[in-house]
Amino acid sequence: MSKDTYDFSDLEAILAEFRDEGSSDEAYEPEPAIEVEAPPAPPLPEAVSPVVEPPAEEEAPPREATVRFELAPERPKKKRPVSLKKEPIASDAEEAEKPAKRPRREKKQKEKPEKSTPEKPAEQASIPAEPVYVKRRVPGVLRFLLSILFFVFTLGILGWVILYLHPASDMLSATGSDTRLRLSEKLDVYVNNATSDALGELTYIRKIYTLQEGDTVAPAPDPSGFGTTYDPADIEDLLQRAAVLLDGQKVTFDPTADFVPDEPIRYYLDDTILVIAWKEYIEQRCCTFAEVKIAHGSQLKRKLAEDTYGTSIQLYASDMANASNAVVAMNGDFYSFQTGRGVGTIHVYQRKIYSGKPTQLDTCFFTSSGDMLFARAGELNSEEEIQRYIDENDAVFSLCFGPVLVDNGELQYCATYPIGEIGEEYSRSCIAMTDELHYLLMTINHTPDARPRASVNELARIIYSKNVWKAFNLDGGQTAEIIMMGGPINHVDYGYERAVSDIIYFATAIPEEVRS
């Protein structure tokens, strides 16, 4: 091709053509390009043709393309990029001789068509069967539009996040049910308490106060009602003062028991609740008891962590007891721990079924009148049956652990049970009923002097010896504790409480404004 055949007036067109090719073939090279030392430029011959050298990415300004003249035999139809194939260095070459020892990934990369060397070597180029992979890139304008689109999409997502995402709002419909007005219940409670106050001024009729079922916090107990003593005889005086509340019922507390030395007897008394808590040795075991007599069934309550069923939050039982103004409290069934054990659970809270799966566990229902009712494993097999049971018995909440220790005054023997390692010696806890609205809470714990703990059947035998009518086993181990006067009164395993999901507690029903 001679000089005459190439017209310099085409320079702009050629430039434009190369620019277009450069932009359309712009390779995605996130890495810094491998620098290949360019061979020294040959001296320019006379016959030259303009060839536009596309600017390197790093060279600024990018628009300024340099024009170099060289022998132009024929402009190639396709751009021939400079081969970036590396010549292996000596050590690499040795490695290259052992392809079998190369890592698999490197072999795969070898097999792949190299991105940076689209041009095949001369000897390979003659092989027609070799497929040519051409990367399809998104054109620049379309990429810009896509960027705008995705940015708007991102803004939309953020708007959705602002409006609908409420992290850590793990509230359940339980709280939703609490937000109901409960006007009739509130009216009943108000009328009942007001009537009691009014009649109390006129005649000697005993006042009966009640608590609302939906209340998560009870009235604070009277601080002057608490007391401690080391002399069991002092309790006799307390019992005389509680004669109206006891209404002729016998107490389990025995002044002649084998009390644990240097351990105080704690008590609380007002018009609606009597609590006596003590520790005694039975069969070498350290047993902690809390005897409770309440005036109304609504004073026996269950508290869940954050007052929400199913929350991931777990709290110390003493924190929950203090937050709910409990006079005395104990651990419950630790429902959140046993939900996933695959044994099925029945959980009723504020008359609502939260878990109604057929269960292999015994369930203890507490009615609005304060009674304990047992549903044995397999007795209630559907939510409909559970709902019918709740309606017929006026059940308020349930505890699902077990087994039943004493039923209708009869000691129950349990050979096997799905949970609770009943044959092992562990710290144990149970709740029992001795009479109407009369309860006995008990734990058997590890002690600093390493006294034995109990299996479930041993626990049943000990609680049965206290002449209880009904008794139900609750969660044990580090969970087993009785809380009174701000903290656990028994020796909790490892000396420190475990965070749990629920407790049961007894509260005074006297409104704070009445007491003041």
Tell whether residue 208 is a contact of another protein (CB under 8 A): no
Tell whether residue 337 is a contact of another protein (CB under 8 A): yes
Tell whether residue 497 is a contact of another protein (CB under 8 A): yes
Interaction residues for another protein, span 19-58 (CB under 8 A)? 28-30, 32, 35, 57
Give Cα separations from 501 to 141, 307, 349, 384 (angstroms). Answer: 58, 10, 13, 26
Per-residue contact flags (x/-) with another protein for residues 93 to 132, judged by CB under 8 A: ----------x-----------------------------
Interaction residues for another protein, span 343-372 (CB under 8 A)? 354-355
Tell whether residue 244 is a contact of another protein (CB under 8 A): no
Dihedral sign of CA atoms 238, 242, 248, 251 in order: negative
Task: Compare residues 63 and 101 and give the one whose CB is closer to another protein.
Answer: 101
Side chain identity at residue 74, one-letter code: E
Length of the chain, in residues: 516
CB of 158 to another protein, least distance (A): 5
Interaction residues for another protein, span 463-482 (CB under 8 A)? 478
Task: Compare residues 29 and 94 and give the one whose CB is closer to another protein.
Answer: 29
Residue 370 half-sphere exposure toward CB, CA atoms < 13 A: 22
- Of 87-95, 149-157, 204-212, 264-272, which segment contacts another protein by CB under 8 A? 149-157
Asked if 84 and 72 count as a contact pair (C-beta separation under 8 A), the reply is no
Q: Could you tell me the end-to-end alpha-carbon distance of the chain, in angstroms, rounded to an integer?
A: 115
Strand, coil or helix: 495: helix
Q: How far apart are CA 67 and CA 54, in angstroms?
A: 9
Tell whether residue 443 is a contact of another protein (CB under 8 A): no
Structure tokens at 367: 């009615």
Task: Compare residues 113 and 121 and give the one whose CB is closer to another protein.
Answer: 113
Task: Compare residues 267 and 354 and give the one whose CB is closer to another protein.
Answer: 354
Strand, coil or helix: 280: strand
CB of 182 to another protein, least distance (A): 18
Work out which of 23, 24, 228, 312 binds another protein, going by CB under 8 A.
312
Tell whether residue 84 is a contact of another protein (CB under 8 A): no
Task: Compare residues 51 and 217 and give the one whose CB is closer to another protein.
Answer: 217
Spatial CA neighbour of 247 closest among 239, 258, 257, 255: 239
Q: Which letter does DSSP use for residue 78 in this model?
A: S
**Residues whose CB is less than 8 angstroms from the CB of residue 72 and which lie 6 or more positions away in sequence, other chains included:** 1, 6, 48, 49, 50, 51
Residues lying near another protein in the complex (CB under 8 A) are found at 28-30, 32, 35, 57, 103, 135-138, 143, 146-147, 150-151, 153-154, 156-159, 161-173, 216-217, 306-307, 309-315, 319, 323-324, 337, 339-341, 354-355, 478, 493-499
